[in-house]
Amino acid sequence: MINLAVMYKNGYYVQKNIDIAISLYEKVVKLNNDSNALFNLSTIYLYDKKNNKVGLNLLEKSSNLENSTAQSQLGLFYYLGEYNLPINYKRAITLLKKSAIAGNSSGQNNLAVAYYQGKAVKKDDYKAYKWFYIASKYGNYLKSKQLINAYSFNLSDSQKQQAIDETK
């Protein structure tokens, strides 16, 4: 049923129909409280329906069910103060760490940026470099490599190698 909802949301092989997609996702959520269905439903409310309150509520529920994509997205929203959420660095870092540790490459990238910028956590080039490397190794190769090359890290070559070795 979730695949059919994706098809209606995006217009794959059927005429695009957001309302049918919503109905299908809601049925999946009602049947088994599926975190992916909650996440997908949240994106419809945030991006298509422009209903931040409902979208954020669904995103929070998905995140609470340990959906690493939802954790990464919600963490980024708290980090940037998007969708009328107040900037909350503590909450942002908690969510980004959960997402990153769960293997979500977007969460890993976002956590690396936080360590590099030093806004939400103490600036730490070593941890930033390590998380960028992990993200590049496990699913976000191009974006992470571009960021590694774009940023100037205050690390020696041996420190960079040590950060890489810790990921093995």
Give Cα 31 distance to the centre of its chain.
25
Specify the DSSP class assigned to residue 96. H
49: burial class by Cβ within 10 Å (0-12, 13-18, 19+)? middle
**pLDDT value at position 51?**
94
Same domain, 98 and 37: no
Q: Which of 30-39, 73-82, 151-160 has the lowest mean pLDDT?
A: 151-160
Q: Is 87 helix (H, G, I), strand (E, B) or coil?
A: coil
> Which domain does 50 fall in, by range?
1-65
Whichever domain contains 18, its CATH number is 1.25.40
The answer as to whether 60 is a domain residue is: yes
**pLDDT value at position 140?**
62
Average pLDDT score over residue span 26-50: 95
Average pLDDT score over residue span 50-61: 96
The answer as to whether 77 is a domain residue is: no
The answer as to whether 98 is a domain residue is: yes
> Of 65, 81, 113, which one is at a domain's C-terminal end?
65
**pLDDT, tens only, 117-159:** 998 899 999 999 899 888 888 776 556 566 666 566 777 777 7
Least Cα distance to 21 among 38, 33, 5 occurs for 5
> CB neighbours (10 Å) of residue 157?
7
Confidence band of 165 (pLDDT split at 50, 70, 90):
confident
Same domain, 101 and 61: no
Full-model pTM: 0.85
Residue the block writes with tokens 């980004």: 96
Same domain, 59 and 96: no
Same domain, 96 and 167: yes
Average pLDDT score over residue span 90-115: 95
